[in-house]
Chain A
Amino acid sequence: MEIFLTYLKVFAVGGAICMLGQILINRTEMTSARILVTFLLLGLVLEITGAFKYMEEFAKAGVTIPIMGFGASLARGALAGVQEEGLLGAITGGMKAVSGGLTSAIFFGFMFAIIFKSKTKKI
């Protein structure tokens, strides 16, 4: 029962965030790059204000899987880096925190683009 409730929260919050993105798309006709940047910065701000920690406790992957989680990790890494190494940490901390995700995105992106030959795009 406990696990069912967790997944319900993840589904509801994650879905609501994506729906918010869809509302932005409908209302402003923003391109996907702008939408992603907006949510990244939103996650960054939420992390700085301390709200993200509580949202993460409540909805777990519901807030970390959306791109907001990426922004929050960047801010958290930068602030942790500052406490450890000062100015150097401010520069290296953010990327250290997201290095796994960013590296895998570029690596898999390159590999799959080579493996899967381009098909004519429908839609």
Chain B
Amino acid sequence: MEKEKYLELVKQTIPKSSLWKTLLPAFIVGGLICCVGQVVSDVTKLIIPDIDKLSLGSVTSIIMIFLGSFFTGLGLYDKLGHYAGGGSIIPITGFANSIVSPAMEYNREGVVFGICAKMFTIAGPIIVFGIVSSVLVGVVGLFL
């Protein structure tokens, strides 16, 4: 009886506390990464005032992907991801991390079958889904 009560108490308390322990860091880290993106975008706009909106978006994501890859290379991004969870996965820097992290891990298996093949273990599905759905959107757009 005591044991059951205890287990029930554990069940009630554990998910709640761990929920807040994961949601708050995800919110803060995710928000901060987006703010870094905004800074990159604003500074780019200052340096090149007559840049058009599409190019500005491209330059911003290229710089953010560079930063994500670089900090993954240093081993810092994976440490951040340990605390931030979704906060480091959802931003575009997380996409870069999902490419660099397995590529580095399988480095010792060689360039072709290690780096080149393994870098798409997580990014592959994203790229495939992205390309397939964009073509479908385009084809549907033909008839509208």
In this complex, how many residues of chain A approach chain B with their Cβ under 8 Å: the count is 80
Q: Which residues of A contact B (CB under 8 A)?
A: 6-7, 10-26, 31-37, 39-41, 44, 48, 60-62, 64-67, 69-71, 73-75, 77-79, 81-83, 86-87, 89-91, 93-95, 97-98, 100-102, 104-106, 108-119, 121, 123
Q: What residues on B are CB-neighbors of A22 within 8 Å?
A: 22-23, 26-27, 85-87
Q: Would you call B138 and A81 a contact (CB within 8 A)?
A: yes
- Within 8 Å CB of A11, what residues of B? 31-32, 34-35
Count of inter-chain pairs, beta carbons less than 8 A: 277
Chain B nearest CB: distance from A67 CB in Å?
A: 6
A-B contact list, 10 entries, CB within 8 Å: A61-B60, A75-B134, A79-B141, A91-B135, A94-B131, A94-B135, A110-B116, A112-B103, A113-B73, A119-B104
Overall SS of chain B's interface: helix
Instruction: Give the distance in Å from the alpha carbon of A86 to the alpha carbon of B138 in the complex.
Output: 9
Name the A residues within 8 Å of B59 (CB-CB).
100
Chain B residues with CB under 8 Å of A13's CB are: 34
Query: Quick check: B133 and A106 within 8 Å, CB to CB?
Result: no
Return the chain B residue nearest A33 by Cβ: B122
Selected from B28, B41, B73, B138, the residue in CB contact (under 8 A) with A60 is B41
CB A21 to nearest CB in B, in angstroms, measures 3
* Residues of chain A lying within 8 A (CB to CB) of residue B28: 15
Q: Are A65 and B34 in contact, with the CB atoms below 8 A?
A: yes
Our pick among A71, A78, A101 for the contact of B58 (Cβ within 8 Å) is A101
Smallest CB separation, A25 vs chain B (Å): 6
Measured between alpha carbons, how far is A40 from B62 in the docked complex, in Å? 17
A16–B18 alpha-carbon span in the complex (Å): 18
Let me know if B49 is at the binding interface, CB within 8 A: no
